[in-house]
Amino acid sequence: MKQFPENFLWGASTSAFQVEGAYNEGGKGPATTDLGAHDPSIADNKVAADHYHHWKEDVDLMAELGLKVYRMGFAWSRIMPDTSGEPNPEGLAFYDQLIDYLLEKGIEPFVTLYHFECPQAAVDEFGGWLSRKMIDQYLRYAEVCFTHFKGRVKRWATVNEQLIATAAGILNGNQEKDPQKNLKNVYQMSYNVSLAEHKAISLLRNIDPTALIGPVCAIQVVYPQSSSSEDVLAAENAEELMEFYLLDMSVRGEYPPYVEHYLKTHDLFPETEPGDQDILKGSKPDFIGINYYFSICVREKVGPINYNQPPFWVSDAFDLCENPYLPKSEWMDRGIDPVGLHIGMRKVYNRYRLPMIVTENGLAWSETLGEDGKVHDPYRIDYLARHIQQLGIMLDEGLPVIGYCPWSFLDVVSSHQGFKKRYGLVYVDRTETDPKQCTRVKKDSFYWYQKVIREHGVPALQASQSNGNK
């Protein structure tokens, strides 16, 4: 068995809006994620996993699991309910008790400032990230958090999955219907997020120079459908447009040349202002958070642009296609690909030379409690084991992988699939329409991961379909 280092950060992840519930309690302001157009037959985040009322029990479970770090989120509008710049004392008090109890249990809180939820007030008043006013809102929020939690939170994430946060109108309030204008909005919002991120990093250096901060990126591992030069170039284009454009902005404060050219020639280049360069180049993150679930496969673009897909796939530079070599499952229709994590993280390190922590990785499954009152999830254990095994190989190769936080610590609500799509190590007993008591039940994967943490690694695995079935 590969022994992971003693100080390896074994963790688990959640985000605030997907677990907390209590959407209108404790002085919290409305958020985009509260007000989205939800199908009433699908659970929303009003109760979610009711972590707001179960937080102590949840931390006890984390301690039982042996977590070294808990990658969590603050709900922006719980701390800053409106645009006045005045924090909500009740919101801060909720996180005070949670963070203090985590620390008491020896678990490091690793907090994401912005994980998809935007204060609705900012969207209503000035269009959210479409306006530069949002940069000031984010910065004030960051200032409140950095100051209030100084010395207790020593690791921060600026933004979770900027690609999704800016592409999904339901999360950021971008209602533009015209596809070209919508795309332009996406790139403008993303540019504003990058400015906000750099300002926040510089601010943390002043407020708490010993704390660490970095982005959380949904890395895109893109394979060409064939070895034709055109398909290979299409795969490179896709990685530049969906991953490196964001990470280059986070780390280097500039677009990759290909992306700058692409945006300019497609009338998508954002509006900039004098002085932006100094902001973007004025700070650098300490680490990169890696979110990875699956790889994708593309081929050379032929035919007209298909606007009927998420904005980040709308392009004349590549076309999405199937990867026939990977096993698939209900919620993993692109395929399960542990080696892709290795490929993706190696590229990230070679490009940026920063420590990396896996901030999300996990397998969704539609689960219910069994007749024995338990949840047996061998599929999840297999998925996690094979990805952790790849981390061991990376460590042997000398890549600075400092931790692993599977998604998710407990079942969370997904924006479009409610509780049908479960990722947790801990089961939350509720249905789509009836939150019941949200009783916690430890899945088999909980006990398995507990052993992984205790023994510092996973036993050697047999090759299986999950490694590809060429």
CB of residue 253 vs ligand IFM: minimum separation in angstroms? 25
Does residue 407 bind ligand IFM (CB under 6 A)?
yes
Does residue 291 bind ligand IFM (CB under 6 A)?
yes
Between 94 and 423, CB nearer to ligand IFM: 423
CB of residue 326 vs ligand IFM: minimum separation in angstroms? 18
Contact criterion met (CB below 8 Å) for 188 and 271: yes
Q: How far apart are CA 190 and CA 163, in angstroms?
A: 8
List the x/- string, 211-250, binding to ligand IFM by CB under 6 A: ----------------------------------------
Does residue 360 bind ligand IFM (CB under 6 A)?
yes
List the x/- string, 17-36, binding to ligand IFM by CB under 6 A: -x------------------
Binding residues among 320-339 for ligand IFM as defined by CB under 6 A: none
Q: How far apart are CA 390 and CA 394, in angstroms?
A: 6
* Whether residue 260 lies in the annotated active site: no
Does residue 414 bind ligand IFM (CB under 6 A)?
yes
Bridge partners of 357? 289, 403
Q: Is 283 helix (H, G, I), strand (E, B) or coil?
A: coil
* Whether residue 230 lies in the annotated active site: no
Please identify which of the residues 20, 197, 360, 367 carries the catalytic annotation.
Answer: 360
Q: What are the CA-CA distances from residue 381 to residues 129, 344, 389, 428 (Å)?
A: 39, 22, 12, 18
Tokens of 204: 């943390």
Q: How far apart are CA 51 and CA 438, in angstroms?
A: 9
CB atoms within 10 A of CB 411: 29
Please identify which of the residues 161, 240, 243, 367 carries the catalytic annotation.
Answer: 161
Number of H helices, E strands in the chain: 17, 13
Q: How far apart are CA 390 and CA 412, in angstroms?
A: 26
DSSP 107-122: -EEEEEEESS--BHHH
Between 161 and 239, CB nearer to ligand IFM: 161
By rule CB under 6 A, what count of residues binds ligand IFM?
Answer: 7
Between 48 and 235, CB nearer to ligand IFM: 48
Does residue 161 bind ligand IFM (CB under 6 A)?
yes
Q: How far apart are CA 9 and CA 45, in angstroms?
A: 29
CB of residue 161 vs ligand IFM: minimum separation in angstroms? 5
Between 15 and 188, CB nearer to ligand IFM: 15
Helices 51-65, 444-455: axis angle to 10 degrees equals 50
Contact criterion met (CB below 8 Å) for 128 and 189: yes
Q: Which amino acid is at 412?
A: V
Between 18 and 172, CB nearer to ligand IFM: 18
Between 8 and 419, CB nearer to ligand IFM: 419
Does residue 112 bind ligand IFM (CB under 6 A)?
no
Binding site for ligand IFM (CB under 6 A): 15, 18, 161, 291, 360, 407, 414
Residues labelled as active-site residues: 161, 360
